[in-house]
Amino acid sequence: MKNEAILGSTILTTKEHAEEKFEHIKEIHLSSVNVEGMKNCRDVIREKFNKGVAVKAVLAALHLSPEQAVAFGDGMNDKEMLSAVGSGFAMGNANPDLFSYAKYKTTDVENSGVYNGLKSIGLVE
């Protein structure tokens, strides 16, 4: 399989700082992933293929503007997606670094975060 066919992957390791082995690859960046009970988990994000690129493609196909879209995220692998929509929500349990990419903050997913976010902008009662 060619590298171009791989759209994403996740590295799960018990070794600290394993991401240093990948720093020389300019076409990717690593993003922390929240995996219960594990440390040092990273999504491998290709610069050309990420959630933000996907959202933009869907919006274009549906002839919608970013202002007509809402997204929710909790990890740094969601930053491009939250930046690509008009109403980006960081979940209450999100990586603190993600908050700067979101327009709004909502409660944890386990505490009705999606519902509370949608309610806060008037999309549900």
pLDDT confidence bin for 3, thresholds 50/70/90: low
Predicted confidence (pLDDT) at residue 1 exceeds the cutoff of 50: no
What pLDDT is stored for residue 2 in this prediction? Answer: 53
User: What are the residue ranges of helices labelled H in 1-125?
Assistant: 51-61, 79-83, 113-120
Say how far apart CA 46 and CA 66 lie, in whole Å.
22
Q: Which domains does the chain have, with CATH numbers?
A: 3-46 (no CATH), 51-120 (3.40.50.1000)
The residue with greater pLDDT, 112 or 10, is 112
The reported pTM is 0.72
Q: What is the pLDDT of residues 37-90, one digit of tens each?
A: 667 777 777 777 788 888 898 899 999 999 999 999 998 889 999 999 999 999
Q: Which two tokens stand for residue 73?
A: 């995220």
Query: In DSSP terms, which residues pair with 105 in a beta bridge?
Result: 90
User: Regarding beta strands 41-46 and 9-12, do their DSSP bridges make them parallel or antiparallel, or are they unpaired?
Assistant: antiparallel
